[in-house]
Amino acid sequence: MKNKILLCIADGVGDRPCESLGFKTPLQYAKTPHLDKLAKDGQSGIMDLHKAGTPVGTDLGHLILFGYSIKDYPGRGPLEAFGENVELVTGDVAFRCNFATIDENGNVKDRRAGRIREGTTELANALNGMQIDDVTVIFKEATEHRAVLVLRGKGLSDAITDTDPKIEGVPVKKPKATNDCDEAIKTAKVLAEVQKKAIEILSAHPLNKERESQGLLPANCILTRGAGSMPDIKKITERLKFKACCIAAESTVIGVARLAGFSTVYDPAFTGNIDTNIDKKSDAAVKALKENDFVVLHFKATDLMGHDNNPEGKVKAVEKFDALVGLALEKIEKEDLGNVIVALAADHSTPCERREHSGDPVPVVISGKNIRNDDVEKFDEVSSAKGALCRMQGSDFCNTLYDYLEVTKKEGN
């Protein structure tokens, strides 16, 4: 039986020494028996997702971990669309959206329409299928006030500005082409018409009339940002011919996974925070391994704690990730799954002191009974740097995993 791969990703786990932790990183400070055992039974290294000293976003970091390069990056809009199960085709231009509230003068009153939660499906359906000349509008609600807008037609471009002013009390921005090409000018005109019609449709929608009667803010406008064009890229599962699955709660990660051809598993118990249900999540991972060659198990809370500058909280998140991995290993042991190689990685570092992504390399491990062992016995930023994998780029890491899966192409004769 061929190898199977379980890639466990701790989002933003890399960090720098924290004074409140005795100048250790959260990974160095935390108790991580399961992560350390994987390090001891395999080989370690540190990884630059793109290149040294270059921070990457969650979207690009995961795109690289799934086997693509920065040249394939379609922008946040398309990834959000895939995250909402909108299958894009080459040439589509996609945007992240908010339902918003504007006043009678056209000024933004609330960028999130009072953080609307109910009725967004009906509002999205009212906009979906709109036709502007030869361009079809695809509109899909997302979580709470969020949505996805896709323009589908010939001769479109993502070289246009955001319409979201990012602040209240000012007018919605008009979309503008960022260059002089006909495609960008056309797209800006189409988007302007979409926004105009959206205001007309949403303002008259019964759901918004009902909201106003209840003293709630109407979702009578849409704000767009993050335009991206769908490039002509093939799903990596089709190109390399393997079956894969991703277990995650974060819509961006789910979007990248679907773009790559991975099936996805989500459950409301997967909160994306430290209270995520790790028992259900580990069950999902083991079930997925029975049916797939490659499984990604994603954990988000480590990143959130870094953004909050909460070293102690990040320690707890690391220990929760360790427990998640431990449960998965225990359940794998009880199943007849063949040889499962377990890898540990992150999509970027999120140092607490910085509250944002940084270009610091992240620790990685590849562990299993047929993996060459090195002398590293702990999973952290410093210990892992002494391992046999040395310092590698994200593309090298994922290619190595795909080679263990025996799906990579041999070069030469």
Q: Quick one: pLDDT band at residue 413, thresholds 50, 70, 90?
A: confident
Please give the Cα distance from 239 to 222 (Å, whole number).
Answer: 37
Topology adopted by domain 4-73+234-404? Alkaline Phosphatase, subunit A (3.40.720)
> How far is the C-alpha of 182 from the C-alpha of 173, rounded, in Å?
21
The 10s digit of each residue's pLDDT in 161-211 is 999 999 999 999 999 999 999 999 999 999 999 999 999 999 999 999 999
Distance CA 165, CA 203 (A): 20
Integer Cα distance of 209 and 120 in angstroms: 14
What's the mean pLDDT when you consider all of the chain?
A: 95
- In the block, tokens 């290993």 appear at 329
Residue 192's alpha-carbon distances to 120, 174, 186, in angstroms, are 22, 7, 10
b/e burial code for range 81-100 (CB count within 10 A of at least 16 → b)? bbbbebebeebbbbbbbbbb
Tell which residue, 360, 395, 363, 356, has the closest CA to residue 378: 363
What are the structural domain ranges in the chain? 4-73+234-404, 81-229
Q: Rounded to 5 degrees, what angle do the CA atoms 167, 193, 209 make? A: 65
Round to whole Å and give the CA distance between 270 and 250.
9
Q: What is the mean pLDDT of residues 228-237?
A: 91
* Residue pair 276/269 in contact by the 8 Å Cβ criterion: yes
**Residue 182: per-residue pLDDT:** 96
Per-residue pLDDT at 255 exceeds 60 = yes
Q: What is the mean pLDDT of residues 372-401?
A: 97
Please give the Cα distance from 290 to 303 (Å, whole number): 29
Mean predicted confidence (pLDDT) in 98-114: 95
Predicted pLDDT at 1 = 55
Q: Residues 391-407: what's their mean pLDDT? A: 96
What span, in angstroms and rounded, lies between the C-alpha atoms of 247 and 89? 24
Q: How many CA atoms lie within 13 A of 209 on its CB side?
A: 5
| pLDDT at residue 371, as a whole number | 95
